[in-house]
Structure 1
Amino acid sequence: MMGEFEEEREVKMDYFPTKVEEKEVECSIKQVELTVLKTDDPNMPVLTFRMWVLGLAACILLSFINQFMWYRQNPMLITSICAQIAVVPLGHLMARTITTRVFFQGTKWEFTLNPGPFNVKEHVLITIFANAGAGSVYATHILSAVKLFYKRKLSLLPAILIMLTTQLLGFGWAGLFRKYLVEPSEMWWPGNLVQVSIFRALHDHEKRAKGGINRTQGFLIILCCAAAYCVLPTYLFIMTTSFSWLCWIKPKSVLVNQLGSGTQALGIGSFAIDWSTISSYLGSPLASPWFATANVAAGFVIMMYVLMPICYWFDVLKAKSFPIFSQSLFKGDGSVYDIKTIVSSNFELDKAAYASDGPLYLSTFFAMTYGLGFATLSATIVHVLIFNGREIWGQVKGAFGGSEKMDIHMKLMKAYKQVPNWWFHILLVLNIVLTVFTCEYYKESLQLPWWGVLLACALAFFFTLPVGVIQATTNQQPGLNIITEYIIGYLYPGRPVANMLFKVYGYISMTQALNFIMDFKLGHYMKIPPRSMFMAQTVGTVVSVAVYTGTAWWMMESIPHICDKSQLPPDSPWTCSFDRTFYSASVIWGLVGPRRIFGNLGYYSHVNWFFLAGAIAPCLIWLAHKAFPKQNWIRLINMPVLLGATMMMPPASAVNFISWIIVGFLSGYIFFRYRPKLWERYNYILSGGLDAGTAFMTILIFFCLQYVTNISLDWWGNHSDDVMCPLAKCPTAKGIVVDGCPVF
């Protein structure tokens, strides 16, 4: 079979008939050269009736499902790949059944509901609509934190305005930086190649080699196999989501539990054979280039197996008084902090109560994660200036009339009208004005003043380009959430809602901008008219915000005690793990404030040295590269990715990283290097098929066996890691008393 996969094949690409000379088609990025077609048909219909129907339906459905699943203990994000696949038979069905009659024929209003066969460009725009509903609206965490955790009132209108402005604000930054993050071929956005491969698999008319399979058949086989296998880790044998076999050797030993637990500790030897566990936090490892995977692996090993053991067993920052791996907030005696006791009636910090209850402590791993977040921030700025400064400056000069180099994809896109910059500028100004109005008008409940909004926008503007360069080349995105929390926590302490809003406007507007730019790059690869892309993104974003807000509000009002573990039944899925992490961050940075934790009044002031370490780290790599110019691997060390590798931990755990790194090594190094034909043909198809099959079956199992009938299987193989490694969460300091743990 291996030989059959590598056979020459004849592919009829009749939906992109325009061709270019071979000397013009070379791409500087090998993965793009192997994956993206270099042909186009500018006359292909795009804004069709079926595109609107299927696009809006996909956007609404994915928005509802993702918000519905978000409050579960194990939330699952349904990506746009599911919609990308599901709409294909529907598109072909509509093309065959809808009338081809031409309305208002002979006038300027002439149109038809069925312009011909369902084509790839319609399919791409439908996927762009689906992308708007495929993520999550980060601002829903604010609604959950205020209403469900702090137990405060929040009316619907300001909630809608917050959700809308946080999602649309990023369009302004996207418009300002698209020239530098979309047009250059070096900004290749690796994650887009998965969807490009799926589009080709679903639309290429590829002749099947005798005894072999074509791309479409391979994709469908992978999808069906992934869906069938998903029953095992999701329902029949849950332990496959984390094999922590080391705990089985000595289950009553705290040390062995701490070494072996894949979800609560170091996870030595743990692994998962469940795709959702592998891809849930870092995305698909099949889409990550090997050098980025290697940087993540190095960062994980240094943090988890070097720094953490040293800090914990030498009791740095009172490490042994708390669990080795936890996102909870603690008192000095190791007990969990009761936050409600330190919140005043006006929703600010009760300083007297805080002084009485004592200072707030973090697990050492949690504190170190924040430290690495500080380092990642400074490393991102320095890295981009040192390694990408010349290219960015060249692009800036090109923007003002200088010469610029265009690859074949940019040349083909010149056939279409571009989106004028003033469209983005107007949208940006309107959103900033609306945001300021919302925060000022509802200042009593939202707490954030007008200057806080402008400062958050300034931070997003400053970091969009350097963070975008990192993501466009490594498929990893260093986050701004920590620095936004840090700044407003110092400037405006004791106000948790203001802190959450500042984080969302400063961090999510940048993230949204990069999502929009990533979609622009997908349209760039697939040769979609830019104005049609802009329309699909704006309409899809507005529709998804309405559905997300409505779904979240309905669930918070209709599900009794949602997110409240103390009042929910033991087997309830509505425990809101991500919202709980967001709430903890609002306490650390907003209510208590960084000065009382990382400043002169706190226990973790030494963590601020990570800012300096992060700034120095890229300089050391640059010096090493200059000293050993023939060692090209040195330049591939990306300190922002390496330092920020573990920023998703918690809630991500060791087993997620270990399994992700193993699969990434097999794909990005072994197969890409030694079986390039096999990698080219099936790597991204495999990624998309695993995503789609797992998502479809997870939804089916949830609604058929859990949500409606609540049928579950109780046997040894369905025990979670918490049961198999019960002592992994125990502190080991002398005299600390915790239920279910031995006292040392």
Structure 2
Amino acid sequence: MDFYEKNADKLKEKTHSEFPEQTDQIDDCPIEQVRLTVPITDEAEVMDIHGHIHANMAMHDEEKRPKGGSTRLQFFLIVFITSFAYYIIPNFFFPSISALSFICWIWPNSITMQQIGSGTYGLGIGSFGLDWSTVAGFLGSPLATPGFAIINIFLGFCLVMYVLVPKSYWTNTYEAKRFPIYSPLVYMANGSQHDVNAVLDQKTFKFSQAGYDQLGQINLGILFVFAYGLSFVTLAASLSHVSLFHGREIWSQTKEALRLSIFTCEGFGQQLQLPYWGVLLAAALATLYASDWYYHCHNESGLNVITELIIGYMYSGRPLANVSYKTYGYISMAQAIAFLADFKLGLLSPVPIWALSCMFPSKKWIKLINMPIILGASGNMPPARSVNYIMWFVMGMLFNIVVYRRFKGWWARHNYVLSAALDAGVAFMAILTYFALGIKDINGIEWWGLDLDKQCPLANCPTAPGIKVDNCPLYD
């Protein structure tokens, strides 16, 4: 019997006395990891703050130490001190321990192999880090992330990093070989960094067309290109996913919003000057006419004039009503159509998952496939590196899949406390190191482990023939 099962009756009894209206909702959350750990309060699905909640509970709740074990406060302090003491190694003495790579050690003179193996400037195959800040620095603590979300994010990372980026780079799409495979910088056509200051007027800080024409167009690394493009796709996929899986709730809330809009028009002494039928007519006109026209003709019909004309005849002499009607009948819909036209891929991507969930309702895992998460998984790259994703996934799978399934009682009691303690130890040591050493420009002993970039120095080099870049060999 696990920790939750032992205390379920007590928890329900206490909850019923304090929150009688929530007693029937104790097991409502579909994520078991949430049900095991989250107190019965509103918004139980919000997992990101669990570490803070459990840390506060460990510090303030009175708890009797179990025989042969430790209280949550004792556990927190042990992990905190260990994390605090250890972080001096990656933060000061051995920064390279944050991203080590077997492939870079085996092929020290190969640009291609270092691009494949580097965890900081490459694909990160064979790379690893022994530093909690590498694990949680960009994606947050994996211990506080549900297992299904970890898998979705890593699938999206693999799709971008191991399918789209390699295929585009080594087929030289958009002249990608002229630039590093992973870089947040902008470049000129010859592979050198673009001088951003040259395209800005130094007095007005406005765009300088003359400077831009002189240097030529701005080029991005191939990973940066996908990061930008997928950010738009992710937004569209989010809209589509929410509509498919939560459409009924949205429709219910839409009706409430219409009621409120009508009340606003009719109430307050009719200061808005627009009657209730104006709101309904504007919404119907915009939805049925403008969107249908664009769908069939791929051309937006301008309803700005017709909306002004209609309300002008039907409710003349009221300028505020005219503006309000135009907003409901044209402007809002025009903006929506403009966004949807650019996000077609994202809008359609959740449809197969939704269709499968309808065809196989007994397969609960299908609904855990989340296309917005998959498509937006690489949204933190850059500045996040491949080693950050790899180590985040490894630690997340270890604790939220392996430990969770085999030691569920321990997981429910200690997982979020462990996460909070690791975060706190790293944070306090980082602050102490900065004020004690960094602010005085004391950077540690000079040796190969001090410079993280020296682990795979060729990973940031271009592979197009004839492109000369400092500290990079000429690629043949």
Residue of structure 1 equivalent to 2:97 = 240
User: 1:349-498 alignment to 2 at 5 Å?
Assistant: 349-394=207-252
The answer (yes or no) to whether the contact 1:334–1:737 under 8 Å persists in 2 is yes
Map Cα deviations across residues 500-531 of structure 1 (whole Å, 9 max, x no partner). Answer: xxxxxxxxxxxxxxxxxxxxxxxxxxxxxxxx
Retained in 2: the 8 A contact 1:371–1:610?
Answer: no
Whether the 8 Å contact between 1:4 and 1:209 is mirrored in structure 2 is no
In the TM superposition, 1:144-293 aligns within 5 A as 185=43, 188-293=45-150
Q: Distance in 2 between matches of 1:357 and 1:388?
A: 49
Question: Given that residues 19 and 38 in structure 1 are in contact (C-alpha distance below 8 angstroms), is that contact kept between their aligned partners in structure 2?
Answer: no
Contact kept? 1:372, 1:610, Cα under 8 Å? no
Cα gap change, 1:732 to 1:188, in 2 (>3 Å) = same
How much does 1:288 deviate? 0.6
Aligned to 2:454: 723
1:324–1:365 contact (8 Å) kept in structure 2: yes
Contact kept? 2:237, 2:347, Cα under 8 Å: yes
The Cα of 1:231 is off from its aligned counterpart by 1.5
Structure 2 counterpart of 1:734, which letter? P
Displacement of 1:37: 3.5
Q: Give 1:27's aligned residue.
A: 27
Structure 1 Cα separation of the partners of residues 353 and 3 of structure 2: 40
Query: Which residue of the partner structure matches residue 416 of structure 2?
Result: 684
Secondary structure of 2:85's aligned partner: helix
Q: Which residue of 1 aligns with 2:467?
A: 736
Instruction: Work out whether residues 222 and 686 of structure 1, in 8 Å CA contact, stay in contact via their aligned partners in 2.
Output: yes
The equivalent residue for 2:165 is 308
User: In structure 2, what is the equivalent of residue 36 of structure 1?
Assistant: 38
* Deviation sequence 1:124-152 (CA, Å, 0-9, x none): xxxxxxxxxxxxxxxxxxxxxxxxxxxxx
CA distance in 2, matches of 1:216, 1:397: 49
Alpha-carbon distance in 1 for matches of 2:391, 2:49:
22
- CA positional deviation for 1:711: 5.2
Counterparts of 1:593-742 in structure 2, within 5 Å, are 611-708=343-440, 710=442, 712-720=444-452, 722-742=453-473
Percentage of matched positions with identical amino acids:
42
CA deviations over 1:238-274 (Å, ceiling 9, x no partner): 2221112210101111011101110011110111121
Query: Measured at CA, do residues 397 and 36 of structure 1 come closer, stay the same or move farther in structure 2, by a change above 3 Å?
Result: farther
CA distance in 2, matches of 1:247, 1:609: 44
Q: Which amino acid aligns with 1:236?
A: F
Q: Which residue of 1 aligns with 2:192?
A: 335
Q: Over alpha carbons, which structure has the higher Rg? A: 2
Relative to structure 1, the CA distance from residue 615 to residue 7 in structure 2 (aligned partners, 3 Å threshold; closer, same or farther) is: closer
* Aligned residue type for 2:27: C
Query: Across the two proteins, how many residue pairs are aligned to each other?
Result: 390
Deviation at 1:337, TM superposition (A): 0.9
1:567-582 equivalence runs, <5 A: none
Q: TM-score, length-normalised on structure 1?
A: 0.49
SS of the aligned residue for 1:212 comes to coil
Deviation, structure 1 residue 205: 1.2
- Aligned residues of 1:233 and 1:239 also touching (Cα < 8 A): yes
TM-aligned CA distance change 1:310 to 1:37, over 3 Å:
closer
Q: Distance in 2 between matches of 1:633 and 1:313?
A: 35
| TM superposition shift of 1:31 | 3.6
Cα separation, partners in 2 of 1:694 and 1:16, compared to 1, 3 Å:
farther
Q: 1:304 to 1:638 in 2, by over 3 A?
A: same
User: Any idea what the Cα deviations from partners look like across 1:467-486, whole Å, max 9, x if unmatched?
Assistant: xxxxxxxxxxxxxxxxxxxx
Distance 1:361 1:10, change over 3 A: closer
Q: Distance in 2 between matches of 1:243 and 1:618?
A: 37
Shift of 1:611: 2.9
Structure 1 residues 208 and 304, CA gap change in structure 2 (3 angstroms) = same
Which structure 1 residue ranges, 5 or more long, are not aligned? 40-182, 402-607
Other structure's SS at 2:235 match? helix
Superposed CA RMSD? 3.0
